[in-house]
Amino acid sequence: MALLDGERRAELVGSLGAVRARIANACIAAGRDARAVTLIAVTKTHPARDVATLATLGVLDIGESRDQEASAKVAEVAELRRTGVGERSEAELRWHFVGQLQSRKARSVATYAHAVHSVDRPELVEPLAAGVTRAEREGLDVFIQVSLDGDPARGGVLGDDVLALADAVAARSQLRLRGVMAVAPMDADPRAAFADLAGVSARLRAAHPQAVAISAGMSADLEEAIAHGSTHVRVGSALLGRRTQVFG
Ligand SMILES: *Cc1c(COP(=O)(O)O)cnc(C)c1O
C-alpha cells in the first residue's frame, strides 16, 4: 500500500479542513487570533502512515498517549519520511505525550517527546529530567495536568497542588514549564470545567509568568475550550476517524 494512498489522503484533507474551520470560527467568536491556537493531531491507534500524510499537509504537532505505541511510531514515521513519500516533508515533527504517564515510562518518553501534557505528580519530575539528560536533548516542554472533577482514575493533580508541582518542574533546567492541561469531566458541562481551568492557569501565571499555555479541548469540545483561552487543542477522532481500540 502506498503511503499516500489517495483515498485516505483525501479523507484527511477533508477532515483537516473541517477541524481548521472549527478552530478559526471559535477564534473569531472569542475574538482571538487563530495563530494562537496549536492543533495537535492525536494519532493513537492510527498508523504511522497517517502521521506522515498529515505532515505533508502541514500538521507537525502529533499527540500520542501510550509510550509503547508512541516510541514505535516515532521510529516508523521517521523511516517513512526518510525514504520519501512522494512529497517533501522535511519539517521536524513535534511529538506530544498526552496520556497518563507511568513513572517507569517517563525516561523513555523524554527521549522522543517535545512536550508532555500529563505531568500530574512529583514522582514524574526526576525521571523526565533524567531522560532528557541521558538523551542529550535540549529540553522538554511540560504541562501540568489538572483534575477538574477530583476523580483520581482520570489523572491530574488537584487545583490546590498545582503550584507545588509547578515549582518542582520549574526547578529542573531540563524541563520547561509551559502551562496547564485538562480533560473535561464526562457528563458535565465542559464550559464550567474550562472556566475552572482558566482560573487555575491564572493562579499558575501569577507565580510562573512564562507558563501561559492551556492544553484543552478535544474533538467534542474544542470550541468551548477555545472560548476559555485554550492554546493547544488535542484532536483525534474528528481528524482521523473513529478509533478501533478503546483508550482511557
Ligand atoms: C485521545 C485523546 C484526545 C483526543 O480525543 P478525541 O475525542 O478523539 O479528539 C485528546 N486528549 C487526550 C488526553 C486523549 O487521550
113-172 pLDDT, tens digit each? 999 999 999 999 999 999 999 999 999 999 999 999 888 778 899 989 999 999 999 999
Q: Atom 6 in ligand 1: which residue has the minimum CA distance?
A: 236
What is the number of the ligand 1 atom nearest to the C-alpha of 44?
1
**Is the pLDDT reported for residue 47 higher than 80?**
yes
Residues 6+ apart with CB under 8 A from 70: 64, 95, 97, 109, 112, 113
The finding on whether 42 has its CB within 6 A of some atom of ligand 1 is yes
Q: Residue 181: what are its φ and ψ, rounded to 5°? A: -140, 150
The answer to whether the CB of 232 falls within 8 A of the CB of 40 is yes
- Rounded to two decimals, the pTM is 0.95
Quickly state the pLDDT bin for 108 (edges 50, 70, 90). very high
Q: What is the DSSP letter of 122?
A: G
Residue 88's pLDDT is what? 55
Residue 153's pLDDT is what? 77
Residue 248's pLDDT is what? 46
Quickly state the pLDDT bin for 231 (edges 50, 70, 90). very high
The finding on whether 70 has its CB within 6 A of some atom of ligand 1 is no
The mean pLDDT value for 41-60 works out to: 96
Q: Would you say the C-alpha torsion 69, 62, 17, 217 has a positive or negative sign?
A: positive
Residue 154's pLDDT is what? 81
**Is the pLDDT reported for residue 107 higher than 80?**
yes
Quickly state the pLDDT bin for 89 (edges 50, 70, 90). low
What is the number of the ligand 1 atom nearest to the C-alpha of 237?
8
**Is the pLDDT reported for residue 217 higher than 80?**
yes
The mean pLDDT value for 230-247 works out to: 88
